[in-house]
Amino acid sequence: MSTENPANPTPAVQHQDFIRQIVRDDLASGKHVAIHTRFPPEPNGYLHIGHAKAICLSFGIAREFNGWCNLRLDDTNPGKEDPEFVEGIKDDVRWLGFEWHELRHASDYFEVFYRAACKLIEDGVAYVDDLNAEEMREYRGTLTAAGRNSPHRERSVEENLDLFRRMRAGEFADGSKTLRAKIDMAAGNINLRDPALYRIRKIPHQNTGDAWPIYPMYDIAHALSDAMEGITHSLCTLEFEDHRPLYDWCVDKVDLPNHPELWESVVAAGLHAQPAKPRQIEFSRLNLSYCITSKRKLAQLVADHYVDGWDDPRMNTLRGLRRRGFTPAGLRLLIDRVGVSKQNSVIDYAVLEGCIREDLDATAARRMAVLEPLKLVLTNLPEGHEETLSFPNHPKNESFGTRQVPFSRELWIEREDFAEVPPKGFHRLKPEGEVRLRGVGIVKCEQVIKDADGNVVELHGTLDPETRSGLPGADRKVKGTIHWVSAKHAVAAEVRVYDRLFSVAAPDSEDDGKSWLDHVNPEAKRVLRGWLEPAAADVAPEQRFQFERLGYFVADRVDHRADAPVFNRTVTLRDTWARQAGN
């Protein structure tokens, strides 16, 4: 089976970090001739931004060293898992720019795990326990006090095998018996105090149906899955560091490479199997300010309707970020800049936004849109005046070409681009003031029209014809330039202005006596009825633009239609949060 994946070409530049150095050393010493990694999410929810780092690291290292990376679904917890999440995970990995070598499931190895457990019993290092969960916690001890042996710990091998086989046959009730490793109840690492390896759970599994009334615990399933797939470097976040001794214990005690009878079922099923001893290496997870990455809390946001679903653009799920208009390249740039270390830290959300802006500045074409419209009538142009102007699609890249933009006597401008009583330093439109209309010329505001309540509803002004493009007066200086959309040709659009879901940097902190839900930002979504130039409307879903002077926007991947445009704001042009904080 080839180790080269044409979907993951080797990049020109290799990164430097402690994990990649381990990989280089292992290749140089001959310990490994090829690098095999895996990304093993549990299909009990959609992936979030924290997973992006794990994806980029495991798939990226395989790509850089011309190895391969499996996508393995850790489906050992039936009842909480769903095929919908499986498809979502596959979609997200591909969206980020990666392709797996093989798609595997922990459930592919259920028979292997069962036979391995029987071997552990036969070797005298596993036993069936009758303690319930509460009693087991009591016997386990504390971080400062050793645990106590279960009264069932010294059952004979024959009795343990008999009980475990009866567990497998479905004879016992849920929770009534547990298979535990026999290690050391006085171990300083509490994970080694006779951890559970199997529990009874009579719940149908999405892949295996009712075949199994018992399911393996994560520690044994994860370790043996890695070994079965010949994973060379098993990359995990730091919370698994204390589990590594148990991971190694499971790998070593079962010893799959020297016991092919344990995995003959996998070969019989037609799956490639070349068991080997993997090495677990831990790295710090991606922590961002203004973010929640707990699956439980993300699910609560959905269930309690704080958001409109898992793909709500306010969510930091990968599906939500995609719908918001974040780019795979921008996320990969973030991961590159954050780097890989063993030091836990919190990255400012502004760093992520900056990476997205950097990518979109180079890749997003420009368009004009008005989100909070105020009409401007140019009274010195004739009724029915129309013309077409040529605009560059990207000011920094001629390869984007040009587009035709209609211009007429009546225009929409942003309401905030006019001030009847302008504050100090205001360089936009004001009574008797002048401003440059983007790509047109200089206009002067000569009349302010108000309704009966005194609200400004329309402006009348004149266009200085000598300042049109190509004429000598075009160089006349005015301090402000504003954008516009021809009212006659504008296309109405729903524009959803999104912002950070939480209003404080550490929503999980309860230092202020409030819960994390108290920090949900009520301004995180505003829905506006705006106007677009025609070239911004008739586009495919997920087309991204910079709406000039307003920010970066994307045609919504679900709701957008050419005849009923819907755009989401991805990110502002600059970091407005820093300014609000007084930085």
Question: Does 286 count as an annotated binding residue?
Answer: yes
**How many other CB atoms are found less than 10 A from the CB of residue 317?**
28
User: Is 452 labeled as ligand-binding?
Assistant: no
Spell out the long-range contacts of 425-434 with Cβ–Cβ below 8 A and sequence spacing 24 or more. 427/479, 427/480, 428/480, 428/482, 429/376, 429/459, 429/461, 429/480, 429/482, 434/478
11 annotated binding-site participant = no
Is 22 assigned to a binding site? no
198 is in an annotated binding site: no
- Which DSSP state fits 172? S
| 537 phi, psi to nearest 5 deg | -90, -45
d(CA 83, CA 101): 20
Question: What whole-number distance in Å separates Cα of residue 7 and Cα of residue 88?
Answer: 20
Q: How far is CA 464 from the centre of its chain?
A: 50
Is 84 one of the annotated binding-site residues? no
Residue 270 assigned to a binding site? no
Non-local CB neighbours of 299 within 8 Å, separated by 6+ positions: 45
Rounded CA-CA distance 272/254 in Å is: 19
Distance of CA 213 to the CA centre of its chain: 34
**Residue 218 annotated as lining a ligand binding site:** yes
Contacts of 10 (CB under 8 A, 6+ apart): 63, 64, 65, 66
**Catalytically annotated residues:** 42, 285, 295
Is 242 annotated as ligand-binding? Answer: no
CA distance 546 to 552: 4
Kindly state the tokens that stand for 333. Answer: 């740039």
CA distances from 235 to 39, 57, 59, 560, 582 (A): 8, 8, 11, 39, 40
| 331 annotated as ligand-binding | no
Helical (H) or strand (E) element with 485: strand 485-486
* Residues contacting 445, CB < 8 A, separation 6+: 418, 429, 430, 431, 432, 433, 434, 435, 459, 460, 461
Q: In what side-by-side order are the strands of the sheet with 456-463?
A: 481-482, 434-437, 441-450, 456-463, 373-378, 410-414, 485-486
Greatest Cα pair distance, the chain, in angstroms, is 101
- Judge whether 479 is annotated as a binding position: no
146 annotated ligand-binding residue: no
Which parts of 393-440 are beta strand (E)?
A: 402-408, 410-414, 434-437
Question: Annotated binding site for L-glutamine: which residue ranges?
Answer: 74, 218
Binding residues, by number, are 42-44, 48-54, 74, 218, 237, 285-286
**Which residue positions form the known binding site for ATP?**
42-44, 48-54, 237, 285-286
